[in-house]
Chain A
């Protein structure tokens, strides 16, 4: 069972994905200088009604094994300690202890 924070992040990713087009449309209207200020203001008010999980800033890379939010290596979706444990067990293809 993944971490609670990981589940929250998955939920955020799904909701952001679902609302991205709509949000970008409203943003386009709100930021468009050639439209009237009333229309822009209405668009901005609509944007304010969107929930927090519609914002892409709520999406955060987390460790797929431990759920840690810091020290994530994006290529493996794992935190540095889990990456090290797996790499030493040769569970990550191609990764080996560096020596030069």
Chain B
């Protein structure tokens, strides 16, 4: 806990400093971090921590991914949605080792990899319509190369499970593969039994 607090403090030293705003030149240039704003990002604190949405971003390179995650985070703040900072999930790395030549020469091979970088942003407590707008805004302004997966949770009225079950039972599909196989097999068995009976009766007569 303490280590994390000191990390945050050094990042936003200029914002958090109690000294008067006139810094000396060396102090100022030492505190400038290229690409970072003067102030920490706006974040609305969650009121009840009821999860509402999870935006999962994936890309082969972290450049556009981080940019889009930053964009999503700030869009949420603009819509007053309590959202988390971008969460870095473990990077997946697939490796393929192939022979360099088309024929033999096993001793010279080449490694190829594909990295999938992942980020997640959690959102809490907001109204479903607001979350809808946020998601549509993000989808409208996607960056090519960044994949988005949105998981959403909403309040449903009591008895929704029962209703869904009734509607599903009403439109049950009778044509899954296993059912078709079973039906066909039963038909085949009946045909064979009939053929056997006929053959037996012919043999008798």
> Can you name 5 extra interface pairs (CB under 8 A) apart from A42-B192, A97-B111?
A28-B185, A29-B185, A43-B192, A84-B100, A94-B116
If A24-B181, A81-B102 touch, does A96 touch B114 (CB 8 Å cutoff)?
Answer: yes
Which B residues are CB-close (under 8 A) to A22?
Answer: 184
Which positions 92-126 of chain B face chain A at CB distance < 8 Å? 94-96, 98-102, 110-116
Interface size class of A (residues with CB under 8 A): 20 to 34
Q: Are A25 and B185 in contact (CB under 8 A)?
A: yes
* Residues of chain B at interface, number, CB under 8 A: 29
B101 (CB) vs chain A CBs: closest residue? A81
Is the C-beta of A52 less than 8 angstroms from some C-beta in chain B? Answer: no
Expressed in whole angstroms, the Cα–Cα distance for A48 and B139 within the complex equals 55
Least distance between B186 CB and chain A CB atoms (Å): 9
Q: Is there an interface contact between A25 and B184, defined as CB atoms closer than 8 Å?
A: yes
Known: A84-B110, A98-B112, A98-B113. A93 touches B60 (CB 8 A): yes
- Verify if A35 is at the interface (C-beta below 8 Å from B): yes
Q: Are B196 and A94 in contact (CB under 8 A)?
A: no
At the interface, is chain A mostly helix, strand, loop or mixed? helix
Chain B contact residues: over half helix, strand or loop, or mixed? mixed
Contact with A along B188-204 (1 / 0, CB 8 A): 11001101100000000
Task: Find chain A residues with CB under 8 A from B114 CB.
Answer: 94-96
Q: Verify if A39 is at the interface (C-beta below 8 Å from B).
A: yes
With both beta carbons as reference points, the residue of chain B lying nearest to A84 in the complex is identified as: B98
Asked if residues B113 and A21 are in contact (CB atoms below 8 Å), the reply is no
Q: B184 to chain A: closest CB distance in Å?
A: 4
With a 10 A CB-CB cut-off, give which of B99, B181, B185 has the most chain A CB atoms.
Answer: B185
* CB-CB under 8 A for A29 and B189, given A84-B110, A94-B115, A96-B112: yes
Residue A26 at the B interface, CB < 8 A? yes
Q: How many Å from the CB of B162 to the closest CB on chain A?
A: 34
Evaluate contact between B113 and A95: CB separation under 8 angstroms.
yes
> Which residue numbers of A lie inside 8 Å of B, CB to CB?
20-22, 24-26, 28-29, 32, 35, 38-39, 42-43, 46, 71, 73, 75, 80-81, 83-84, 87, 93-99
Of all chain A residues, the one with the shortest Cβ separation from B190 is A39
Residues of A within 8 A of B27 (CB): none
Contact A83 B96, beta carbon cutoff 8 Å:
yes
**Inter-chain contact B98/A42, CB cutoff 8 Å:** no
Does B182 touch A at the CB level, under 8 Å? yes
Docked Cα-Cα span, A43 to B189, in Å, equals: 8
- Residue on A nearest B199 in the bound complex, by CB: A38
- Cβ-defined contact, B96 with A73, below 8 A: yes
Can you report 20 A-B residue pairs in the complex whose CB atoms are below 8 A from each other?
A21-B177, A24-B177, A25-B180, A25-B182, A25-B187, A25-B188, A28-B185, A39-B189, A39-B193, A42-B196, A43-B188, A81-B98, A81-B99, A81-B101, A84-B98, A94-B60, A95-B96, A96-B112, A98-B113, A99-B111
